[in-house]
Structure formats: structure tokens, C-alpha cells
Amino acid sequence: MAKISDVQLKQLVEGAIFVSEQPISTEQLQATVLDGLAVSKSRLKETLAELTLDYQARGVQLIEVASGYRFQSMDSLSPWLSKLWQEQAPRYSRAMLEIIALIAYRQPITRGEIEDVRGVSVSSHIIKTLSERDWIKVIGHKEVPGRPALYATTKTFLDYFSLKNLSDLPSSDDFLHDQEKDQQLNILSSESNPLTEDKQPQSATSSTIEADNADEKEQLH
């Protein structure tokens, strides 16, 4: 096998990840751009660790997600970088977010088990949408009457949220901490401007009600 210097290896790996349209794994790197080169798994991991460190303080960072490595901008820059695109970010209904959260945290899970937790029927449209996005998949069937499908999340779901594995999902403690922070901010906001709620425009209130009603209809389909 041909030898390659550390500098050349670093440049080659960096270039491969940069031009790849999808996250690229160490296995893919060794099977493609590093094929025929004397590069061990440990050496490749060391190179990736060095690259990750090199980009740590930059606007673009090297991130490992479920499917492999990719370059992405810092999350803190998104409010400004989003101005480069005219289209708005997709908005997900509360029902869809509840369903994907239940699947992510309780997988494998059946449709009936999701309905038991939420108290309403699961929209077939939402399940279809999540499947088409390749966020969820059927991994088997539960051995009970009717053998309902068991749903689980995919690597595409993890990639979308920049997660390496399911253990990177926020814990319930994180949710409770965020809720406490939101409540504290709401209290401070109310104290600083006690008339804000009374002076809320009618149009804003109507929009909120319409959004809640639309979301509820989606849940009951």
C-alpha cells in the first residue's frame, strides 16, 4: 500500500468531507478516498480529532452525527446566516413534534401506545410525513393480537438534529430546567410591563386561537 504523510492525509480527509453531499463515515472514507493507502483506523480517528479541534473556534465546525462527519456552521450564527435564504424554515405542528418525541424517547413504540400517551388518535398523515422524511421506520411488529408495527427513529433523524446517537437527546431534566427558565422570564416580563397582557392586539389573540384549533384538528384526523 502507498504511504501518505500526516499533512496530506489531513488535507485529503478534510477535502473529502467538504465535497461530500452527505455525512461521511470512517468506513466510507477508507473504502473510497483512502483505498489503497496505508491508513489505519486509529490514524484516521486521530486525524479527524485534529480537524475537529482545528475548526472548533471557527464559524464552520466539523461535527460527528449518526451517519458520519460533516461540516456545518455554528448554531449561534444561524440568526444571521438564515438571511441568505429567502424561504422560511419549515414549521412543525405540535402534534407532529409530540409524536416524533414519543417515538424518539420510547422506541420501539406502536401507534396504539402513542395514542394511549397522547389521548387522541394519531394522524395517518403525520406518520406518512415522518416516514417520507425518513425520520422514522418500521423495525418489526409487536407480538400481540393484530401485530401492530413498531416504530423507531433513523440515522436521518439524528443527522437532522445534529445528534450522534440517541443518548445525545436532551434529558427530562433539561426540559424541566428550560421550563423553569421560561417561567422565570415570563414572571420578570409581566412585572416589568403588567399591562402587556391586557393590551394584547385582538389580531394576535385570534391568530393564536386559529393555530391551536388547526393543530387540534390535525391531531384528531
* Confidence at 50, pLDDT banded by 50, 70, 90: very high
Residue 86 burial by Cβ neighbours in a 10 Å radius (0-12, 13-18, 19+): exposed
Q: What is the pLDDT of residues 38-47, one digit of tens each?
A: 999 999 999 9
Range of the domain at 116: 88-221
Regarding whether 110 and 61 lie in a shared domain, the answer is: no
Report the number of distinct structural domains present in the chain.
2
Contact 175/186 with Cβ under 8 angstroms?
no
Residue 82 maps to a domain: no
| pLDDT, tens digit (0-9, with 9 covering 90-100), for 76-102 | 998 898 888 876 667 788 999 999 999
Establish if 80 belongs to a structural domain: no
**177/129 same-domain check:** yes
Over the chain, what is the mean pLDDT? 83
Per residue in 154-167, pLDDT (tens digit) is 999 999 999 999 99
* Co-location of 169 and 197 in the same domain: yes
Distance between CA 221 and CA 13 in Å, rounded? 48
| Residue 127, domain CATH | 1.10.10.10
Mean pLDDT of 1-15: 94
For residues 181 and 128, membership in a common domain is answered with yes
- Provide the pairing of β-strand 136-141 with 149-153: antiparallel
CA atoms within 13 A on the CB side of 38: 6
Confidence (pTM): 0.68
Q: Is the pLDDT of residue 63 over 60?
A: yes
